[in-house]
Amino acid sequence: MRIIIAPAKQMKEDTDTLPCAELPVFLDKAERLKNYVNSLSYDEQKKLWACSDKIAQENHVRFAETDLRKRLTPAILAYDGIQYTYMAPDVFEQQYFDYVQEHVRILSGFYGSVKPLDGVVLYRLEMQAKAKIDGCKNLYEFWCDSLYREVLPEDRIIINLASKEYSKCIEKYLQPQDRFITVVFGELQNGKVVQKGVYAKMARGEMVRFAAEINAESPEELKAFDRGYRFDEARSTETEYVFIKS
Q: What's the half-sphere exposure (Cβ side, CA atoms, 13 Å) at 70?
A: 4
pLDDT of residue 190: 87
Given a cut of 90, whether residue 116 has pLDDT beyond it is yes
| Average pLDDT, integer, range 225-233 | 97
163 Cβ contact list (under 8 Å, min separation 6): 6
- State percent of the chain over pLDDT 70: 100
Residue 119 has pLDDT above 90, yes or no: yes
Mean confidence (pLDDT) of the chain: 97
Q: Closest Cα partner for 127 from 151, 145, 107?
A: 107
pLDDT in tens, 154-182: 999 999 999 999 999 999 999 999 999 99
pLDDT digits (tens, 9 = 90+) for 46-59: 999 999 999 999 99
3-class secondary structure, 132: coil
What is the structure's pLDDT at 238?
97
Domain extent listing, the chain: 2-245
Give residue 74's pLDDT band: very low, low, confident or very high (50, 70, 90).
very high
User: Burial of 17 by CB count in 10 Å (0-12 exposed, 13-18 middle, 19+ buried)?
Assistant: exposed
- Can you tell me the mean pLDDT for 230-241? 97
- Euclidean distance between CA atoms 30 and 38, whole angstroms: 12
Q: Is the pLDDT of residue 191 over 90?
A: no
